Structure 1
Amino acid sequence: MPGQIQRNTLDIPFGIYAYCFTQTPVSFPHTLMGIDDEHEVYAIERNGLFAIVSALSLKEFSEDALDKKMTDMVWIASKAKKHEEVIEFVMTYTSKGCHEPLYRFSQSTFNKGEPEGILKKEDEGEERENPQRTGVLTGCYSIPVVPLRFCTIYKNQETLFQTILPHKEKIIKFLNYTTDKTEWSVKIFCDKKVFMDRYDQRKGQPIKIDQTSLLPGEGYLLAKKKHKICEEALRVEIQRILQDIYSTVLPYTDGCRFLRCFDKKIHGRSSDMVMNAAFLIKQQMLVSFRDSMNIQGEKYKNEGLVFELTGPWPPYSFCPEL
């Protein structure tokens, strides 16, 4: 039954998988299974703080077992999605005791043939035309949470609360602070060839190196030198533009975190990711933030830059250290 860890006949040790913390009591349907797809999700309360958890086998999710599974991208994607689903169930739980479907906004700016934005219904995989065209951005969460990292595991309930309760004041402060805010992701991709061509046009002429009176082998070295100079000029110019974008949208945000840019093998695009940022946005500033981002996308669309805006997300990037 929920709230109790059931042991099987082999007496395999069971532990607690933790998804998030909240101050709001939430009830879960029996059909909502946890990270192992076997045990139900439930809430446990201590001193006004609710931990959202499920039981799991400490053998299947031991440190050694996880080290091996962390190389399996299919396994990671499946489990990370389950982790996210549980957190978002909590965040979309209403005061009426029901779960409101989440529509996540996903916009890739200025891709030909695509609408301005698509809202994806997370729990059914449906898509619908972006209502932002009428000036309305939906997808606000109802309940603030402190989302925990993927694969946060405790031996038992006592260990969980012994670890967390010393940070209760910090947790409550964060929950209160993010009541009317959500995290939005902005990724910018750059077609370096287009970008460099536009850079040369602005400067009036491409970068050249005198190749007269070359000795054997010097042509290769000079080509490498030119490539290095071009790459540095590209890096400096991209950083200048990113700073311009950041300074322009910052007044509409309550915080920003710059995250690691992913390799093409991970994000799957032909262009390079040059910015990966998370912004914390108040609900009342969301339309202004998106409009400002669209203006920046229009401004730099001929420079080979593509903007990708998605949200809302749980505020992972702004969580306090626990």
Structure 2
Amino acid sequence: MTETKTKTDESLFYLYGLVPTKELKDNPLKPFAGIDERHHIYERQIGEVTAILCEIDEKEFSEEVIEDKVNHDMEWLQAKAFHHHETLEKLHNSYTLIPLKFCTIYKSEQNLARTIESEGLKFHQLFENIAQKEEWNLKIYCDDKKIKEEVVEHSSDIKEQEKAIESLSPGRQFFERKKWKQKVEEAVVNVKRSKCDEIHKSLTGLCSQSDVKKNWSQEMSGRKQDMNWNGIYLLNKNKRDTFLQQVKHLQKEYKELGFTMEFTGPWPCYHFANL
């Protein structure tokens, strides 16, 4: 059942996501607590698109308040972000969902309705694209030391150059060894790029779409190794088992070469339904 909220002077509207109206007719939304833990999540039908909303208090979720919380209250931020993600997971499990970013807030339902009405075709195409699909993420980390050892051991060109340096005068050795080290580092970079690309291509055939995102810093990933690949894959739900079998095979195959693969999912279509 579609519910319309009457805005008070102190109310805003928190938008979680958008779902096709026809899906809610067959599978009505079961209300549960919203992000403020007081108001319940409800639906607002706007033609063929239905918004999943929660009324919130402007005193708690104004732009200024949120900015202050983000900068000074990590506990609040983590709790609200977790609620947002958990809610999107629930919706994704029941509907074709276009998920919205954390803290997408409208001042009125009328503003939201105008936005959706003006982009109706875009939403229709997105729903078609992500129906019965889910996202998976692949992050690849490399053991540079191990890869370097493999490069030096198995590259005849590099081995020959290293051997030739030994017959040079000490002065020449110093400069030639610097060039040799640079060549080894370049080879390591090429190996990492080539192997990551191989892994990515072996997965794209199982997916509807794929993309490569920016690598995270060590501070963001929480790991001592650099991230060398950050791939994202849009997968038909009925191909999940096949996809995961390939993932496990790749993890085993490339582990001995110094590559660690971290797969996570399934996720709502954050990337491929990004507005």
Superposition TM-score, scaled by structure 2 size = 0.83
Paired letter, 1:35: I
Q: Cα 1:171–1:306, aligned 2, differ >3 Å: closer, same or farther?
A: same
- Per the alignment, residue 63 of structure 1 pairs with 63
Equivalent of residue 292 in structure 1, options 216, 236, 246 = 246
C-alpha displacement of 1:5: 5.6
Paired letter, 1:14: S
User: Would you say how many aligned residue pairs link Structure 1 and Structure 2?
Assistant: 262
Q: Deviations over 1:127-179 (max 9, x none)?
A: xxxxxxxxxxxxxxxx2111111111111100011112211122122212322
Paired letter, 1:295: H
Equivalent of residue 134 in structure 2, options 169, 177, 182 = 182
Q: How many Å separate the matches in 2 of 1:255 and 1:85?
A: 24
- Per the alignment, residue 41 of structure 1 pairs with 41
C-alpha displacement of 1:271: 2.3
- SS of the counterpart of 2:56? strand
Q: How many Å separate the matches in 2 of 1:165 and 1:6?
A: 20
Q: Deviations over 1:256-282 (max 9, x none)?
A: 121222222222223222111110111
| 1:15 is the counterpart of 2:17 | no
C-alpha displacement of 1:241: 0.6
Q: Deviations over 1:183-221 (max 9, x none)?
A: 111111212222222222222556859595449xx96x9
Q: Cα 1:243–1:28, aligned 2, differ >3 Å: closer, same or farther?
A: same
Structure 2 unpaired stretches of 5+: none
Structure 1 vs Structure 2: percent identity of aligned residues? 26
Q: How many Å separate the matches in 1 of 2:197 and 2:140?
A: 12
Q: Cα 1:193–1:40, aligned 2, differ >3 Å: closer, same or farther?
A: same
Structure number with higher helix proportion: 2
**Cα root mean square deviation, aligned:** 2.9
Q: How many Å separate the matches in 2 of 1:36 and 1:198?
A: 55
| 1:268 is the counterpart of 2:222 | yes
- Per the alignment, residue 53 of structure 2 pairs with 53
Map residues 101-250 of structure 1 onto 2, 5 A cutoff: 143-204=95-156, 212-214=169-171, 229-250=183-204
Equivalent of residue 30 in structure 2, options 4, 15, 28 = 28
- Per the alignment, residue 319 of structure 1 pairs with 273
- SS of the counterpart of 2:112? helix
Q: How many Å separate the matches in 2 of 1:83 and 1:228?
A: 47
- Per the alignment, residue 116 of structure 1 pairs with none
CA contact (8 A) 1:44 1:52 kept: yes
Q: Deviations over 1:57-103 (max 9, x none)?
A: 3343333333333345544332221111212222223xxxxxxxxxx
CA contact (8 A) 2:200 2:231 kept: no
Q: How many Å separate the matches in 1 of 2:76 and 2:191?
A: 39
Q: How many Å separate the matches in 2 of 1:223 and 1:150?
A: 52
Paired letter, 1:265: E
Structure 1 unpaired stretches of 5+: 94-142
- SS of the counterpart of 2:60? coil
Q: Deviations over 1:218-261 (max 9, x none)?
A: 96x98876665444332221111111112222111100121222
CA contact (8 A) 2:12 2:108 kept: yes
- More displaced stretch, 74-83 vs 253-262: 74-83
CA contact (8 A) 1:254 1:282 kept: yes
Superposition TM-score, scaled by structure 1 size = 0.72
Paired letter, 1:18: L
Paired letter, 2:198: D
Paired letter, 1:28: K
- More displaced stretch, 165-174 vs 60-69: 60-69
Paired letter, 1:174: L
C-alpha displacement of 1:34: 1.9
Q: How many Å separate the matches in 1 of 2:6 and 2:143?
A: 52
Q: Deviations over 1:33-53 (max 9, x none)?
A: 222333221111111311001
CA contact (8 A) 1:170 1:320 kept: no
Q: Cα 1:55–1:231, aligned 2, differ >3 Å: closer, same or farther?
A: farther
Q: How many Å separate the matches in 2 of 1:203 and 1:63?
A: 57
Q: Cα 1:66–1:298, aligned 2, differ >3 Å: closer, same or farther?
A: same
- SS of the counterpart of 2:102? strand
